[in-house]
Amino acid sequence: MIRLSKLTDYAVVVLSRMSQDAGAVHTAPALARSTGVPEPTVQKCLKLLSKAALVASRRGAAGGYALARPAEAISVAEIIAAMDGPIALTACVDGASGGCGVERVCAMRGGWDRVNRAIKGALESVTLADMAAPSCTTHLPGALTDFIPAGAGN
């Protein structure tokens, strides 16, 4: 399974929570309370997100975090890149020239690159607004089931 780190998952949750009051300043403890994610983890997420300039931080007594951009302008690809680093499938890709000792392997990097680009495109086409938005509307009981194509995911 191609695994996405939990931190990224949490980040999406936190960001989508923030997008419900876009422009408002949210403190880390408040976000932890409203999302159910442990507070230290929320802080860790927000720190990484602020480093990536996806959220704006304000220090001090009345401080907190706010979305740096509207939710429509934040892609899932950016969130993943902020949390997990560059989006790449293979170790060969991220500049590790010494990593893959087998040289003849590299002959197929072009193929991986093609896959990588397709995946990146898929991730960029989904915004935070898409994830957070009328979720309750689409999230009917059982709606998820037929949302998944037959045989997909396996």
Write the binding mask 20 to 49 for a second copy: x where contact by CB under 8 A, - elsewhere: ---------------xxx------------
Number of chain positions touching DNA (CB under 7 A): 29
Sign of the dihedral defined by the CA atoms of residues 1, 124, 31, 53, in that order: positive
Q: Residue 46 binds which entry of DNA, a second copy, none, with Cβ cut-offs from 5 to 8 Å by kind?
A: DNA
Report in angstroms how near the CB of residue 88 gets to DNA at its nearest.
12
Element (H, E) at 41: helix 39-51
Q: 63: which DSSP letter?
A: -
Torsion of CA 114, 150, 12, 120, to 10 degrees: 10
90 touching DNA, by CB under 7 A: no
150 touching DNA, by CB under 7 A: no
The answer to whether the beta carbons of residues 31 and 68 sit under 8 Å apart is no
Total residues found in the chain within this entry:
154
The answer to whether the beta carbons of residues 4 and 80 sit under 8 Å apart is yes
Which residue lies nearer to a second copy by CB, 60 or 153? 153
Q: Which residues are near DNA by CB under 7 A?
A: 1, 3, 5-7, 10, 26-29, 38, 40-41, 43-44, 46-47, 50-51, 57-65, 84
